[in-house]
Amino acid sequence: MKLGMRRSHRPEEQASHERWLVSYADFITLLLAVFAVMYALSQVNEGKYRVMAGSLLNTIAKEQGRRDSLIVAHEPSPPIVPIDDLAAKRASRIGEAQLRQQEKMRIIARDIMAAFAPLVKDGQVRMTQSERGVRVEINASALFPLGEATLQEDSIKALNAVGQVLKNGEHAIQVEGHTDDIPIITPKFPSNWELSAVRASSVVRLLIDNGVQATRLTAVGYGENRPVESNDSEAGRARNRRVTLMIMSTVPDSSSDTFSDTETPSDAVPDSSSDILPGASA
């Protein structure tokens, strides 16, 4: 016989609709704490702030002063030299260099004069010296046959001696060819330009053969365009037919770019060399 079982039914609990109040109360509490902290932070003690700021400034000032003292001790300021003193010292150095260079050029002029002694005696060579260097002016008739650019035997010997004087120096050398204004028309030389240029090149080639560095040498032909005398007379034309050696100083005179005819003759040049005697036509 089955016995019927009776189940007990518990009354259902009603849901609480006020549970949100707990979370809301927690939120309000936290929010109140945040405002309390913010209020506390906003209340700065001005007195303590001033003390702290003063202490920081003093520390920074002491550290900066220590650095400045180290800089002064290890990096002294250079002495201030007046501009006038610098200019005077520079001028003095340049003056001393020019004096030394003039002495060197005087020795070169003396040695070249000795090499050209026979031509000097005949009045075929003129030499002058200035702060820019030494200029040796050689009558063309002493070097070349008429209308030619091939060196004569006697001139080769003299130029060989000049090459030995110049080969150990450092001075730049410019060799210039000049003619008179009488036109020349030959298969070799259509004009005086070619004649003067080839004559200058012949002298340069001979100097190179005697050991003068080619980088120091320049050959220039001016033709009849740079006369030193009038071409109206035979004597003037003979003076204009010439080859000039310009031995340049390494300390040039800044007041002039070229040699002038008013240069003082070198002390190494005898008085007899100051005038060129008329030579044969060239």
pLDDT digits (tens, 9 = 90+) for 220-236: 999 999 999 999 999 99
Name which of 180, 179, 228, 172 is nearest 204 in CA terms: 172
Model confidence at 87, in pLDDT bands (50, 70, 90)?
low
More confident residue, 273 or 81: 81
133 φ, ψ (degrees, to nearest 5)? 140, -155
- What percent of the chain is helix, strand and coil (3-state, nearest 5)? 50, 10, 40
- pLDDT (tens digit, 9 = 90+) per residue, 43-74? 666 666 676 677 767 766 666 666 555 554 45
- The pLDDT of residue 9 is 57
- pLDDT tens digit string along 88-110? 666 566 677 778 888 888 999 99
Across the range 6-23, mean pLDDT stands at: 64
Give the angle 164-274-176 at the CA atoms, nearest 5°.
50
Average pLDDT over residues 152-173: 92
Which has the minimum average pLDDT: 29-38, 174-183, 205-214, 240-249? 29-38
Q: Residue 143 has what pLDDT?
A: 95
pLDDT tens sequence across 105-135 = 899 999 999 988 888 888 899 999 887 889 9
Pairwise pLDDT comparison (35 vs 57), residue with the higher score = 35
| Residues 228/261, Cβ–Cβ less than 8 Å | yes
More confident residue, 145 or 64: 145
Closest listed residue to residue 86, CA positions, set 77, 75, 78: 78
Structure tokens at 223: 């033709």
**Range picked from 70-79, 152-161, 215-224 for highest mean pLDDT:** 215-224
Which of the 8 DSSP states describes residue 274?
G
pLDDT of residue 123: 85
Strands 133-139 and 125-130: antiparallel
Statement: residue 156 has pLDDT above 80: yes
Mean pLDDT, the chain, whole residue set: 78
* pLDDT single digits (tens) 263-273: 434 443 433 33
pLDDT of residue 213: 96
pLDDT score of 15 more than 70: no
pLDDT band at 249 (very low <50, low <70, confident <90, very high): confident
Model confidence band, residue 257 (pLDDT cutoffs 50, 70, 90): very low
In the chain, what are the domains? 106-274 (3.30.1330.60)
Work out the average pLDDT over 185-192: 93
